Homo-oligomer: A and B are copies of this chain.
Amino acid sequence: MNNNIRALRTARGLSQEALGSALNVSRQTINAIEAGRYDPSLPLAFKLARFFALHIEDVFDDGEETLGS
């Protein structure tokens, strides 16, 4: 599962720590997700997408064919 989190975060000038704090997760969790070491839980995926005002499918990509919009 790939994701855009690093790009979205840095575009907003946020550190991993700041993003983690905003979402109530540790900076290591943000780092691991950005690095692709593991996928977030569904609740955390919701928080991340909502934080960036995007759909989950616009933040994460599971590599399968996507919907028309």
Which chain A residues have a beta carbon within 8 Å of chain B's beta carbons? Answer: 1, 39-43, 45-47, 49-50, 53-57, 60, 62, 64-67
Contact = CB atoms under 8 A, between A and B. Distances in A.
Total identical chains:
2
18 contacts: A1-B46, A40-B42, A41-B41, A41-B42, A42-B42, A42-B56, A42-B62, A43-B62, A45-B56, A46-B57, A46-B60, A47-B62, A47-B64, A50-B66, A50-B67, A54-B67, A55-B55, A55-B57
B53 A56 contact: no
A45 B64 CA distance: 13
Contact of A64 (B50, B54, B56, B57): B50
A62 B56 CA distance: 12
